[in-house]
A and B are shown apart, each in its own frame.
Chain A
Amino acid sequence: EPEVTQTPSHQVTQMGQEVILRCVPISNHLYFYWYRQILGQKVEFLVSFYNNEISEKSEIFDDQFSVERPDGSNFTLKIRSTKLEDSAMYFCASSEARTGTDTQYFGPGTRLTVL
C-alpha cells in the first residue's frame, strides 16, 4: 500500500541552525501539507501546497519557514533559523484532490529537537 515517508525520523539541531525536513508524498497525490505537534499539544496545520505554490498557511508559518518541491517526488520544509519553540513532531501529509472529502494520508513524522 502506498504511504507517505519522511526523513529523518529524528533531527537534533542547535538553536539558530537551518534544518530541512523531507517528505515523499504518495506518487499520484497533488496536494501536500505540513503539520506539527508540540509535545502535549494539538496537531496544528502549518501549510498546504499545490501546483508548486502555497495554497494556504497558518499564523505559525512565518518567514522562517519555507516549503519546496525540488523534484517530482520530494516535498521539503525548511526552517531557516531554528528556535527552541520549534521543537516538535512534524508531519507531512498528501491527498489526491482538494476537497474536504479527500483523505489526507500522513507520514510517520520527524521529531525535531532544538537545543
Chain B
Amino acid sequence: QSALTQPPSASGSPGQSVTISCTGTSSDVGGYNYVSWYQQHPGKAPKLMIYEVSKRPSGVPDRFSGSKSGNTASLTVSGLQAEDEADYYCSSYAGSNNFNYVFGTGTKVTVL
C-alpha cells in the first residue's frame, strides 16, 4: 500500500497555471478511472475538486482541471488566485483485493 507520488511543492504567480502530478501503478491510477483531487486549507477538512479523473463537482471553478495518462494523473490550476494556496492530494480507487483506496503524498501550492 504505497502512497501515490506527488511533488512536495509547486508555485506560480497570480494568473499563471500550475500542474501537479500524481504517479501510481497499474493497480491504482492506471487501472481505474476513479482518481480524485482534494484541496485542503490549514485546519480544514479536504474538499473535493475533481472526481473520476476529470469531472468537476458543482461549485468548483473551471480553472481546475484533471487528466490522466497511464499511471500518472495530473491536476492543473489555471489563472491562479490567492485562495488557491493550499495543500492538494490525489487519491485513487485501488480495487477490492486487499485495500480500497490510496492517497497521494500531497503537494503544497504557493501563490507567489
Report whether chain A binds chain B.
no
Q: A-side interface residues toward B, CB under 8 Å?
A: none
Q: B-side interface residues toward A, CB under 8 Å?
A: none
